[in-house]
């Protein structure tokens, strides 16, 4: 089975920031970047919740949006991790 670079670029919250036209990032670098992005999103969510609870921010809508964004991003990372582990297990059974 042959796998060629089809020229697809990732978009959305996990799109590689350092990707230049014609040059792709390594898989490990992309995964690290996705984990860092998720970590930053969760930290922003926690800060928004703390600001809301301490009365520093009266905008509950922004805090809820930040928490939902962190939840979705975290679920996506967990799903990606589970898929990677499943793929690794499948490759090990083929040997």
Highest-pLDDT range among 4-8, 22-26, 62-66: 62-66
Q: Would residue 38 count as lying in a domain?
A: yes
The contacts of residue 59 (CB under 8 Å, 6+ apart) are 52
Asked whether residue 72 is assigned to any structural domain, the reply reads: yes
Establish if 85 belongs to a structural domain.
yes
14 falls within a domain: no
In a domain, 54, yes or no: yes
pTM: 0.67
Q: Which long-range contacts (CB under 8 A, 24 or more apart) does 33-41 make?
A: 34/77, 34/80, 35/77, 37/13, 37/73, 38/70, 38/73, 38/74, 38/76, 38/77, 41/13, 41/66, 41/69, 41/70, 41/73, 41/74
Question: Considering the domain boundaries, does residue 9 fall inside one?
Answer: no
15 is a domain residue:
no
Number of domain units in the chain: 1
Mean pLDDT across 38-45: 94
Does residue 61 sit within a domain? yes
Residue 88's domain comprises 27-94
CA dihedral sign, ordered 56, 36, 65, 74: negative
């Amino acid at each position: 089975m042959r796998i060629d670079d089809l020229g697809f670029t990732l978009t959305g919250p996990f799109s590689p920031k350092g990707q230049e036209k014609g040059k792709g990032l390594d898989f490990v670098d992309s995964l690290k970047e996705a984990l860092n992005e998720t970590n930053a999103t969760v930290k922003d969510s926690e800060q928004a919740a703390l600001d809301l609870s301490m009365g520093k921010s009266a905008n509950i809508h922004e805090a809820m949006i930040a928490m939902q964004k962190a939840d979705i991003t975290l679920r996506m990372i967990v799903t990606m991790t589970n898929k990677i582990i499943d793929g690794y297990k499948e490759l090990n059974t083929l040997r």
